Amino acid sequence: MPWKEVSIMSAREEFVRLVLQPGANKSELCRRFEISRPTGDKWIERFQMQGKAGLAERSRRPQRTPARTIADIEETIVALRKEHPAWGARTLKARLQALGHKDLPAAVSTIHAILQRHALIDPHESDKHKAFKRFEREAPNELWQMDFKGHVALSAGGRCHPLTVLDDHSRFSVCLKALGNEQSASVQSALSEAFRCYGLPRRIITDNGPPWGDTPEHPYTRLGVWLIRLGIGVNHSRPYHPQTLGKDERFHRTLKAEVLTHTSLRDLTNAQGHFDAWRAVYNLERPHHALDMKPPITRYQASPRSFPEQLPAVDYPEGSIVRRVQDGGKLSYRGRNYRVGQALRGYAVALQPDPEHDGAIDIYFCHQRVAKINLHDHELMQV
């Protein structure tokens, strides 16, 4: 990730905080962020000695001043709320505490009252969402959730299609890209950038529409085939069940409330600038209710699995029954044709007996089981 792609301060902070995570590979992260090892060491040392202020080219004013009055405290709260109009009292308090403000009101309700006094609370704004049990993966990069946030009209003409990719464990936004379409080539390019910076996840889950899915009978597309060849597991959500991608859906609500509702996007370049600035705040600063009011960077680590610039060969263990998928997405086995999907045309797949079901054959593409043949009725089933 070259420094020019996001603000210099945000990129430096993200680099340092990723390096300081337990088990992080400093040399690999320097390579991914395209800086030298001495430069990386310089920013790490400055951050450890001075915190975020040490990452600036010039010193910053201290965040806290002695003998602050109540009016000063209110002014600080109001200023942060105006900077982030969608942040509630609890989020504001957590962020100000993280910045070193120790003289805040003890009760969140007091901060809420301050916002009301300054007419900064929407009459319809309330905490009306019921509590629910959250499920998450145990570690970063075990699962990424990916989807588009609909599309947004651009003032200069055309539309922006925000591509969002969220780490399931940490809620860290690994990709927020302003795309001009929802085609596979555009998504692949954006994902390649994310993979070069953060490494490869174990698995990615998407919904069932294009470019992620083809049909319920043949869900894999060329984009999915590319991901599988990279060693990434591909899952599709249950049809008509958006809760499967609940964390990314919640991210979309936050993006809408904090950016899209208040910002006019001129063109894709302008949109990307707004997205980059907000994504840095979201990942590095914004307290998250699901993370004990800490930002996602506190729970995220870059993946040790680096992105290969050349795809590995499709290979199977010796003794595997290998078939090449022909035109129409069909393969032949025991004198019968089975259609596994046009996206696999030209690729070799492996057939292996299912050890748990007699008379069933599993079909694998690379590491992923993509279908199953029932030899009793000669039907092919998706898995």
236-269, pLDDT tens digit by residue? Answer: 986 655 567 889 999 999 999 999 998 999 999 9
Q: State the total domains in the chain.
A: 4
Is the Cβ–Cβ distance between 271 and 160 less than 8 Å?
A: yes
Residue 131 in any domain: the answer is no
Minimum mean pLDDT range among 63-67, 156-160, 339-343, 349-353:
63-67
Q: What angle is formed at CA 32 by the lines to CA 255 and CA 277, rounded to 5 degrees?
A: 25
pLDDT at 94 over 60: yes
Residue 14 in any domain: the answer is yes
Please tell me the predicted confidence (pLDDT) of residue 239: 60
Residue 211 and residue 97 share a domain: no
Residue 148 and residue 287 share a domain: yes
170 — phi, psi (to 5°)?
Answer: -105, -10
More confident residue, 270 or 62: 270
Taking the C-alpha atoms of residue 126 and residue 130, their distance in angstroms, rounded to an integer, is 11
Q: What one-character DSSP code corresponds to residue 130?
A: P
10-48, pLDDT tens digit by residue? Answer: 899 999 999 999 999 999 999 999 999 999 999 999 999
Average confidence (pLDDT) over 219-244: 85
Q: Which long-range contacts (CB under 8 A, 24 or more apart) does 287-291 make?
A: 287/90, 287/91, 287/94, 287/95, 287/98, 288/171, 289/90, 289/91, 290/134, 290/171, 291/170, 291/171
Please tell me the predicted confidence (pLDDT) of residue 130: 41
Mean pLDDT in the chain? 86
Minimum mean pLDDT range among 58-67, 129-138, 169-178, 288-297:
58-67
Residue 169 and residue 104 share a domain: no
Residue 266 and residue 163 share a domain: yes
Average confidence (pLDDT) over 367-375: 92
User: Which has the closest alpha carbon to 64: 52, 74, 73?
Assistant: 73
Residue 211 and residue 101 share a domain: no
Q: Which residues pair with 372 in a beta bridge?
A: 362, 381
Residue 267 and residue 187 share a domain: yes
Average confidence (pLDDT) over 189-198: 97
Indicate the helix (H) or strand (E) that contains 81: helix 70-83
Residue 164 and residue 273 share a domain: yes
299-334, pLDDT tens digit by residue? Answer: 999 999 999 999 999 999 888 899 999 999 999 999
Please tell me the predicted confidence (pLDDT) of residue 59: 45
| SS3 label, residue 165 | strand
Domain span at 47: 3-55
